[in-house]
Amino acid sequence: MSAPWFSKPLGDGVWAYSLSNQARDAFEPLFVLAGRPLEMAVFTRHQSAGRLHCEVTAYFSPAAATVAHVLDARPCGAPSRGNLDLLAGDPACWPVIFPDGE
């Protein structure tokens, strides 16, 4: 069984922007201390589901579990790669974290 991913709803509009910055700020020093591993990243996904404003969710890779815990994120399954944006981490992380392109 693989280690869990974590997710945290960031809300919409101003809330999502503010909480995205909070997640990035919490991530960066821990990322540097860990030696900038490719497996450690935070992603976001914007979902509208027919609503006027989109909801933003942050997804923390298993290697970013410490950051997820600091931000009270909850365990979840691995997200599909589609429509994810890299919020924090090394841009070269994609093939390491999503080796099947999913």
Q: Does residue 20 carry a pLDDT above 70?
A: yes
In a domain, 97, yes or no: no
pLDDT at 14: 64
pLDDT tens per residue, range 68-101: 999 999 999 999 998 899 999 999 999 999 998 6
Q: How many domains does the chain have?
A: 1
DSSP secondary-structure letter at 86?
Answer: E
In a domain, 100, yes or no: no
Is the pTM for the entire model greater than 0.85?
yes
Boundaries of domain holding 19: 5-92
Q: Identify whether 98 is part of a domain.
A: no
Query: For the chain, what is the mean pLDDT?
Result: 89
pLDDT of res. 16: 79
In b/e form, how buried is each residue of 63-91, taking b as 16+ CB within 10 angstroms?
bbbebbeebebeeeeebeeeebeebbbee
Confidence band of 55 (pLDDT split at 50, 70, 90): confident
Residue 83 inside a domain? The answer is yes
The answer to whether residue 19 is domain-embedded is: yes
37 inside domain: yes
